[in-house]
Amino acid sequence: MADFDLIVIGSGPGGYVAAIRATQLGMKVAIVERESLGGICLNWGCIPTKALLRSAEVLHLAKNAKSFGLKIDKTDFDLQAVVKRSRDVAKQLSGGVGHLMKKNKIEVIMGEASLKKGKPAPVVTVKDKDGKTKDYQAKHVMLATGARARAIPQAGLEPDGKLIWTYRDAMVPETLPKKLLVIGSGAIGIEFASFYNELGSDVTVVEAVDRILPVEDEEISAMARKQFEKQGLKFMTGAQVKSLKKNKNSVTAEISAGGKSETIEADRVILAIGIVGNVENLGLEELGAKIEKTHVVVDGFGRTGVQGLYAIGDLTGPPWLAHKASHEGVICVEGIAGANDAHPFDASNVPGCTYSHPQIASVGLTEAKAKEAGHKVKVGKFPFIGNGKAIALGASEGLVKTVFDAETGELLGAHMIGAEVTELIQGYVIAREGELTEAELMETVFPHPTLSEMMHESVLSAYGRVLHI
Amino acid sequence: MAINITMPALSPTMEEGTLAKWLVKPGDTISSGDVIAEIETDKATMEVEAVDEGTIAKILVDAGTEGVKVNSVIAVLAEEGEDPDEVEAPKDAGGSLKKEESSKKEEAAQTKAPEQEDKPAPKSEKPESDSAKKSVSSELGSTPMKLADVGDGGDRIKASPLARRLAKLRGIDLSNLKGSGPKGRIVKKDVESAKAGQAAASTAAGAPASPDGLILPQVLDDRVYAPDTYELKPLDGMRKTVAKRLTQSFMQVPHFPLNVDIKLDKLLAARAGINEAAPEGVKISVNDMLIKASALALIAEPDCNASFTDKGIAYHKSAHISVAVAIDGGLITPVIFNAEKKGLATIAAEMKDLASRARERKLKPQEYSGGTFSISNLGMFGIKSFGSIINQPEGIILSVGAGEKRPVVNEKNEIVPATVMTVTLSCDHRVIGGAEGARWLQAFKRYVESPESMLL
């Protein structure tokens, strides 16, 4: 006798969303969580960093009050209050997830889960905080245990929570580091670099690849670097951190770039060199689930190949994004339920967002990747300086770039940098999901005055019909 | 809030269906998972389960209504605490399409079908939406009737703009494609895979544009056959599909038959031995063994495991055997997939399950499509030999006659009794020639006459 139709392990945005969808489809569901409902996203990731970045943004506006005709004599901040606001936001949302679980009659089991062989699905053993264990049997088990920051202990790239931070430590600083070294220029590294730079730290970002934000379009990477440098951020690209040496209250980093070696001393270091899946201590090897590079191997419906066992989200590999996890979770549950319209996961329509100042957002192929894939492309570009709303906002730096297949008119990719682009990108995601061509996008009415008009203009530009530049 | 119960899509390609039967009535309380209605599609009858719980407030589509569009509202459910009598029917209810209207509509659709289909797509280098606008406005001037059709959306092909563009660029007819997107929408992927092997059913030169056009209006003349001298049974989905598909195949495919006599004694002996050794509950039939032999012959002679398409011949890599099963009211061909890799016990078990569900009309569409070869056996009726119509897009079909004792001349020129059956292979001459078909029959004969070679 199964206790549940589905047990979800991990209550991040992948797990808890999947659990809700499962109850909508009539399943009896339990969710296991070892720490806080909502997982990393709500508690230590997406949401609290957005709260921090909002403080930084307001500070930035206040500092520039004069350009808006306003008078603010003295701008200052209280770091502890900024951190507290961020923690309060996380707490409020975690409580919200608890409410959602209750509303949907999902049983929340607090403790650490492991698996052992069972039928029709592996047996879930949960160890609670007192060390007591209990076994649960479900018809289906979904792993949504997420991921954590990668470390390279051999080179001293190992977080200690004091001098060498992960995202988690960087979110709750006690004091503002004077000199900060950020290793890795992906979304996480850039967001923290942007935050600390705004607050006044002297920030250097080291990136192994020859450009920052390596997954973004090259043109966007270059524009981002220029704008960040204008704000005082320093970058070392094509550079590798050979070692980190901890001193009493600082860290010495040995960095090699272009055949030369250099040492940099910083008060604090943030490690943002990638993500590893939380695959350990679950009993996956014994069950025969396939693990590649710390990620569980699954098909488009999250199936692991072990009967009754599924995996979704960060655990299954890039892109490591909350919305990817939620989407995969829903697909997986619909696959289990045999829902009419279940479609396997397609990573090519997952948008990526970086919430730094300026913001960066994209979906689909970069111009270079599109050409690599053999497409003849038509590229459209529209700068923020040509948009009325952007100028009114005092945010006239940025670009909206679109890449079309010249033959078919397929929107292959869209890449944006500038104010609020993380809110705009979904327009292009819908276009891709609905397989709209340039014709429909051109026919669409965009409201005036909005930043979204640039999305229209970029499409027009790709076909030589741009209006306002 | 009242909950609308809508016509479900039972397969990705389903656009409409017949609401065969209601199992609940207004006032009934239902909970999630209850079977509330039965729906008939082309080839299957399926049960509809309730997703929500509540009291049935109104039934908007009567049992027996044909052509109910997917997603149209068929009933309204009152939630707990709601008065079922107060619940109002939504405006877009599927119930507006009552029995009579739907048959009238169908008639009308049939008579005007050819004209509509022959109309070429507007040629224009401009973005599609421009040309679409143009064609609507030109229609507005001449034939206002068409505009109403646009609104009705009955024959509308659901496809993404990108899929339409790709199909136009590559000369692919969307009406022949199955959509894999939400609600059967044709998306880019579908057009791209069609490129590789569009079904033979597609636009062969000179053939009528639409398979529907193949079924010409046909009536019995009242002066010759007085209506009271026969009973008219309306065509159900299965009859329509069988009529359409077989007419199409018979008219489009150049069939040629090949036949051969095959001695069965060794196969019958092997079968008896296998069944004796088999565990309780496992019983292999002659037909199961012929399925296996066919699959192995298809792998041995891959030229015959093929489909004609106007882009080229598609050579299938696995042997998916469609097995003709006669059922009440028609014919259906469930498929044993990858039969060359399956053991006899597996084939027997699958066949038993498929045949019994076929008789109940409970097969899923994916269980009766996707075959690469068909086998039809009328041996049990004592039929000596017959030729079947090819089950498109498959390239060949085997017709199996009865195994019977016949006098046979052996190597020593003696007349001895042997169990012999005559099989006929109907071949699509566009795909294979006589020699290829003959080689396939040789291979098949070898496997049947030396059944031990199937073990190799």
Indicate the helix (H) or strand (E) that contains B113. Answer: helix B99-118
pLDDT at B111 over 50: no
Instruction: Give the tens place of pLDDT for each residue, A72-87.
Output: 999 999 999 999 999 9
Q: Is A101 within 8 Å of A108 (Cβ atoms)?
A: yes
Indicate the helix (H) or strand (E) that contains B306. Answer: strand B306-309
- Tokens 């920030």 found at: A203
Asked if the C-beta of A437 comes within 8 angstroms of chain B's C-beta atoms, the answer is yes
CA Rg, chain A, in Å?
23
- Please give the Cα distance from B194 to A399 (Å, whole number): 38
Asked if the C-beta of B8 comes within 8 angstroms of chain A's C-beta atoms, the answer is yes
- At residue B408, what are phi and psi to the nearest 5 degrees? -130, 140
Beta-carbon separation of B127 and A443 below 8 A: yes
Half-sphere exposure of A296 (CA within 13 A, CB side): 33
CB atoms within 10 A of CB A35: 14
pTM: 0.59
**Residue of chain A with shortest Cα separation from B33:** A26
For the packed helices A13-24 and A79-103, what is the interaxial angle rounded to 10 degrees?
Answer: 20
Beta-carbon separation of A435 and B32 below 8 A: no
Instruction: Give the tens place of pLDDT for each residue, B30-58.
Output: 887 788 888 877 667 777 878 778 888 88
- Picking from B437, B433, B431, B365, the residue whose alpha carbon sits closest to that of residue B200 is B431
Instruction: Give the tens place of pLDDT for each residue, B141-167.
Output: 333 333 333 333 445 789 999 999 998
Q: Is A166 within 8 Å of A188 (Cβ atoms)?
A: no
Q: What is the mean pLDDT of residues A333-355?
A: 88
Q: Report the greatest alpha carbon distance in chain B.
A: 90
pLDDT bin (cut points 50, 70, 90) of residue B84 is low
B69: burial class by Cβ within 10 Å (0-12, 13-18, 19+)?
Answer: middle
Strands A164-165 and A268-271: what pairing? parallel
Instruction: Give the tens place of pLDDT for each residue, A225-270.
Output: 999 999 999 999 999 999 999 999 999 999 999 889 999 999 999 9
Strands A268-271 and A399-405: what pairing? unpaired
CB atoms within 10 A of CB B325: 21
List, as one string, the DSSP characters of B203-225.
--TTS-SSGGGGS------TTTS
Beta-carbon separation of A437 and B182 below 8 A: no
Instruction: Give the tens place of pLDDT for each residue, A126-151.
Output: 999 999 999 999 999 999 999 999 99
What is the set of domains in chain B, with CATH numbers?
Answer: 3-100 (2.40.50.100), 254-455 (3.30.559.10)
Asked if the C-beta of B171 comes within 8 angstroms of chain A's C-beta atoms, the answer is no
- At residue A214, what are phi and psi to the nearest 5 degrees? -60, -20
- At residue A408, what are phi and psi to the nearest 5 degrees? -100, -15
A261: burial class by Cβ within 10 Å (0-12, 13-18, 19+)?
Answer: exposed
- Picking from A40, A282, A294, the residue whose alpha carbon sits closest to that of residue A151 is A294
Instruction: Tell me the count of A-B CB pairs closer than 8 A.
Output: 48
Structure tokens at B303: 């030229």
pLDDT of residue B127: 44
Beta-carbon separation of B127 and A442 below 8 A: yes
Structure tokens at A52: 């921090």
- Please give the Cα distance from B220 to B26 (Å, whole number): 41
What is the set of domains in chain A, with CATH numbers?
Answer: 4-148+276-347 (3.50.50.60), 153-273 (3.50.50.60), 358-462 (3.30.390.30)
Asked if the C-beta of A409 comes within 8 angstroms of chain B's C-beta atoms, the answer is yes
pLDDT at B169 over 50: yes
Q: Is A199 within 8 Å of A59 (Cβ atoms)?
A: yes
Residues of B in contact with A409 (CB under 8 A): 162, 165
Mean pLDDT: which of A281-290, B58-67, B201-210 is highest? A281-290
Strands A239-246 and A251-257: what pairing? antiparallel
> Which strands make up the sheet holding A239-246, listed edge to edge?
A239-246, A251-257, A260-266
